[in-house]
Chain A
């Protein structure tokens, strides 16, 4: 039963990874930029929630709401001030800009919260649920449920709403989307705003379990294998990739050494790069001359 136990907890952890990966995939699909600042934006969102919930003592729902709005504003500012200027420049420049953004965010966090570690008050049920011999930790289960519900919400948003469809069209082809009357600049800003919101929610859910500190920002790098495993331009891929990486991490930690957990995702990444470079569900690019 040990394997099943590891499998279940891996699945639950993977759900949150998948959610973070979604933010990266959205930005990459719409704007062609790989966002290295994802982890830092996530930490910033969690710290804003800390400010409102822990330091000001306001109710939790208000804290989460304000943090989400603030994250959206931060996302829009990042896009408007830094990344829009780099449209049409080499991809590397945009990549460096997201990194510089990570520095600025880290600086803001250090200045405002002095690198301390905070803990949220319990707002999700604690304890554990026993399903026969398998024990499910509520601290893992509830974030997973929330994330899955939100995934459903985003699925509907992208499949049914006009704005969501506009975002998908922009991801396909900027010029064609513009011809159809879609405001591409608006879509770019919206994408960054959504990515900020996704990051904040992921940050709050992760911070709830692990405590909120600057090290939350470096979880962002661990999500990169998730994104590539699923396919850089696939939203469903992000979900599957997240779940697989979560399970692999747990199985490796359970059966081998815990330190292998840190490199297992990257070994998976190397293997997938060699076998199927476009990722599990990514679109294969065919080159024509």
Chain B
């Protein structure tokens, strides 16, 4: 649904992301608000926003692979792990600057992703999901046990902060700019990918593989490309994560993280870049407010067992997700689209 009275007279207009003056105003206001956040938010909140933004990068990758190309990936956290460790090792062992390690770790993770995408030649759908699940179990175990003199094994790794010249970017505010600029660029890259020919090929594969193949799309090549892009985003996310947290451990990226990346994507709405952003915001916001609420409950009723806050958190979180899936199975983005359509159609009822 396009804004009223907005007609395309050539193809580039049809593809444009921002089409009206109102949208330009919103984009500029949005970016201004985003980049002035450190002025009026304190460090604990900024650190949560950083953490959320890093998640968004991983979910963006997953959205391209699962939401657009239709290949389920249950091992995104493992690819994030690959990105984090390769970036950390490139900086500490090879002495590369962070700015070089960031794209390189994306590439490394991308290549590992390609490796696990190879079975897509033979298997599809649910079975393919299981090979990525195998990645989720194999990669962290290998990091934990093979060459522990390099990877640090169970102790994890200590990662230096990024340097800009001689200046160490080690506060939340400084990292906020590094992370947010990356997220904005990657969001634009993701949006551009999916509105172009590659994205259309992905959608064709998702909707009907046989039909896509008979239209002349090289299904296997595009699937591998989708795997590469997905793990590339995961690698970038991992690299940012490593240099933001500065102590990394494979233990922090378990199957549960992988599943929640998927969950955020589904809740955001499959097949939309907007969904990859509002999904994590919703889930992470819910998670954080429940943690806070459960702690408050634990503080008031001190006679409750110590595990109670965690238990309340888990139960409410699970129930909210179930209710959400039951009543809004197409995700938040669907609701947003409905709202936009209604706004654009008013006062006409058709």
Contacts and interface: CB of A to CB of B under 8 A. Distances in A.
B255 A228 contact: no
A104 B263 contact: no
Given A36-B259, A92-B262, A96-B325, A263 B126 contact: no
Contacts of B311: 107-108, 110-111
A106 B134 contact: no
Given A86-B326, A101-B318, A224-B133, A277 B145 contact: no
B329 A262 contact: no
Size category of the A interface is: 35 or more
Q: Main SS of the interface on chain B?
A: helix
Contacts of B210: 287, 289
Interface string A72-92: 000000000110011001111
A124 interface: no
Contacts of A111: 305, 307-308, 311-312, 315
A259 interface: yes
A93 B311 CA distance: 24
Interface in B143-170: 144-145
16 contacts: A82-B322, A93-B329, A97-B326, A102-B318, A103-B314, A104-B318, A107-B314, A111-B308, A262-B137, A266-B137, A266-B138, A269-B130, A270-B134, A273-B128, A273-B130, A289-B210
Interface string A255-269: 001010011001101
A273 B131 contact: yes
A96 B263 contact: yes
Interface string B281-317: 0000000000000000000000001111011111111
Contacts of B21: none
Interface string A1-37: 0000000000000000000000000000000001010
Interface in A191-243: 221, 224-225, 228, 232
Given A99-B263, A104-B318, A82 B133 contact: no
Contacts of A153: none
Given A97-B322, A110-B310, A92 B130 contact: no
Given A85-B326, A224-B133, A96 B262 contact: yes
A175 interface: no
Contact of B325 (A93, A224, A257, A263): A93
Given A101-B318, A110-B307, A257-B145, 5 more contacts: A92-B266, A97-B326, A107-B316, A110-B311, A266-B137
A113 to B, nearest CB: 9
Contacts of A99: 259, 263, 321
Interface string B91-122: 00000000000000000000000000001001
Contact of A103 (B123, B130, B145, B317): B317
Contacts, number: 134
Contacts of A257: 145
B270 interface: yes
A100 interface: yes
Contacts of A224: 130, 133
A74 to B, nearest CB: 14
Given A232-B126, A273-B123, A277-B122, A104 B266 contact: no
Which 7 A/B pairs are nearest by Cβ-Cβ distance?
A107-B314, A103-B318, A107-B315, A104-B318, A111-B311, A110-B311, A100-B321
Contacts of B314: 103-104, 106-107, 110
